Amino acid sequence: QQKVQQSPESLTVSEGAMASLNCTFSDGTSNNFRWYRQHSAKGLEVLVSIFSDGEKEEGRFTAHLNRANLHVSLHIREPQPSDSAVYLCAVSMKGNYKYVFGAGTRLKVIA
């Protein structure tokens, strides 16, 4: 059964510094990866989707996927206090309804 683990559990960065979040998964046949952001007491907002090894950029958010290492990461360029939230990694197979979520990384951006 797919296991998805995120690290670190929490991260504090200064405004403008790069923030890097990690996600490891156990099923090497997974091919559909998404990063979501969850502000307190609100729903999840999809940030970036990536389906093949390499990187995918959406504005200030860049995902890096290395399926051989069972690893996908999210890098946030020039983070702002409004980026303070919980970031969730979701892993699935293309054409499959089933997402497996990590427990999240709580990011705090200080001015």
Partner 1 sequence: EAAVTQSPRNKVTVTGGNVTLSCRQTNSHNYMYWYRQDTGHGLRLIHYSYGAGNLQIGDVPDGYKATRTTQEDFFLLLELASPSQTSLYFCASSLGLGVNQDTQYFGPGTRLLVL
- Nearest approach in angstroms of CB 45 to partner 1 is 8
Residue from 17, 18, 46, 110 that binds partner 1 (CB under 8 A)?
46
Alpha-carbon distances, residue 42 vs 45, 85, 106 (angstroms) = 9, 10, 14
Taking residue 49's Cβ as centre, other Cβ atoms within 10 Å add up to: 13
- β-pair type (10-14, 105-110): parallel
Q: Does 104 bind partner 1 (CB under 8 A)?
A: yes
Q: Does 32 bind partner 1 (CB under 8 A)?
A: yes
Q: Does 36 bind partner 1 (CB under 8 A)?
A: yes
Residue from 52, 68, 82, 95 that binds partner 1 (CB under 8 A)?
95
